[in-house]
Amino acid sequence: MSKSGTLDLASGLGGKIDKEEVKSAVDEYEKYHGYYGGKEEARKSNYTDMVNKYYDLATSFYEYGWGESFHFAHRWNGESLRESIKRHEHFLALQLGLKPGMKVLDVGCGIGGPLREIARFSSTSVTGLNNNEYQITRGKELNRLAGVSGTCDFVKADFMKMPFVDNTFDAVYAIEATCHAPDPVGCYKEIYRVLKPGQCFAVYEWCITDHYDPNNATHKRIKDEIELGNGLPDIRSTRQCLQAVKDAGFEVVWDKDLAEDSPLPWYLPLDPSRFSLSSFRLTSVGRMVTRTMVKALEYVGLAPQGSQRVSNFLEKAAEGLVEGGKKEIFTPMYFFLARKPE
């Protein structure tokens, strides 16, 4: 079971960062971003520090709001958010043709929600690769509680330099994670290297779409907000990602922005105009309650100094994501299936 109480949120805030250091970590994190005048080059050259600070600060909010899987989903009418998140994970397993006994890699696995679901759905063994120590600690505990420690494990490493020998895995997938890579070709090349020949890689990428205009100040502001609120060095276009996977050596089997035909928009859970009891914490009223609660917990010393600022930049992220989704300039589900040639 995911930690989902208010005090869990407060106690997990800051991850592995010393509680006294949370405020200065927030300062340093914010300075990386365009929204506060930071430069893309600094975010790329310091990506490990920037991304790890982000996940140390944000993970307990994610777990509190989303549960164990930290991603959006294609969603049908009548489907709950939770059902759609699982189906989005099953879709990857189906596309990869997972069969019992296969050895699978989850690149940028969070606290392992997708990994546990995919391993149980397909009877495979899944290794989660993640560079954030706090998330791995949480993931191991959740694997133990789910009873999947025998088939699922975690490796702490950078997906730009994976500690696996060539041709190790029968399948590789990444869910909303490789967007953190400072260079997509370098990251996809590592995936290519560790995948067995003839086998497949499937991904949901965060991308800007063809509707994005770099000369439009509103578009630029939305992109900056999404980068700030999500620990991203830069958001690449769908075309750049497609070219990058080809440059890494893959054959693309098919690709599609799944947001284009999602009957319910992926950003609906965060949309201020909508209310839901089942995912109340993600609604704008729910987020306001969380902000007020975090403020009170910080005031009485139960949450570290700087907690409210984390809550604020996550709020910016939510606003940017909803605006980016409504204007169709951004997608969190540009899907492609790619094969490593024999």
* Amino acid at residue number 305: Q
Our CB check for ligand SAM shows the closer of 176 and 205 to be: 176
Closest CA to 72 of 313, 341, 215, 265: 265
As beta bridge partners, residue 337 has 202, 254
Query: In the complex, what is the shortest distance from the CB of residue 135 to ligand SAM, in angstroms, rounded to a whole number?
Result: 5
Our CB check for ligand SAM shows the closer of 155 and 293 to be: 155
Our CB check for ligand SAM shows the closer of 26 and 105 to be: 105
Our CB check for ligand SAM shows the closer of 132 and 311 to be: 132
Query: In the complex, what is the shortest distance from the CB of residue 55 to ligand SAM, in angstroms, rounded to a whole number?
Result: 5
Closest CA to 184 of 241, 104, 246, 268: 241
Query: In the complex, what is the shortest distance from the CB of residue 28 to ligand SAM, in angstroms, rounded to a whole number?
Result: 17
Q: Which chain residues interact with ligand SAM by CB under 6 A?
A: 51, 55, 69-71, 108-110, 113-114, 129-132, 135, 158-160, 175-177, 180
The SS3 call for residue 240 is helix
The H-or-E segment that residue 199 falls in is: strand 195-208
For residue 329, the 8-state DSSP code is S
Our CB check for ligand SAM shows the closer of 157 and 288 to be: 157
Query: In the complex, what is the shortest distance from the CB of residue 319 to ligand SAM, in angstroms, rounded to a whole number?
Result: 18
Our CB check for ligand SAM shows the closer of 132 and 238 to be: 132
Query: In the complex, what is the shortest distance from the CB of residue 260 to ligand SAM, in angstroms, rounded to a whole number?
Result: 21
Query: In the complex, what is the shortest distance from the CB of residue 176 to ligand SAM, in angstroms, rounded to a whole number?
Result: 5
How far apart are alpha carbons 239 and 296 in whole angstroms?
45
How many angstroms separate the Cα of 192 from the Cα of each of 76, 105, 164, 185, 250? 33, 12, 12, 10, 7
| Helix ranges restricted to H, 32-80 | 40-45, 47-66
As beta bridge partners, residue 201 has 172, 338
Our CB check for ligand SAM shows the closer of 175 and 228 to be: 175
**Tokens (6 digits) for 135:** 């998330």
Our CB check for ligand SAM shows the closer of 92 and 242 to be: 92
Query: In the complex, what is the shortest distance from the CB of residue 321 to ligand SAM, in angstroms, rounded to a whole number?
Result: 12
Q: Are strands 330-339 and 103-107 parallel, antiparallel or unpaired?
A: unpaired
How many angstroms separate the Cα of 219 from the Cα of each of 105, 208, 216? 35, 10, 5
Our CB check for ligand SAM shows the closer of 73 and 297 to be: 73
Check if the beta carbon of residue 270 is closer than 8 Å to that of residue 286: no
Backbone angles phi and psi of 102, in degrees to 5 = -65, 155
Distance of CA 186 to the CA centre of its chain: 19
Check if the beta carbon of residue 102 is closer than 8 Å to that of residue 150: no
Check if the beta carbon of residue 47 is closer than 8 Å to that of residue 180: yes
How far apart are alpha carbons 274 and 290 in whole angstroms?
17
**Tokens (6 digits) for 87:** 């189906």
Query: In the complex, what is the shortest distance from the CB of residue 175 to ligand SAM, in angstroms, rounded to a whole number?
Result: 4
Query: In the complex, what is the shortest distance from the CB of residue 49 to ligand SAM, in angstroms, rounded to a whole number?
Result: 11
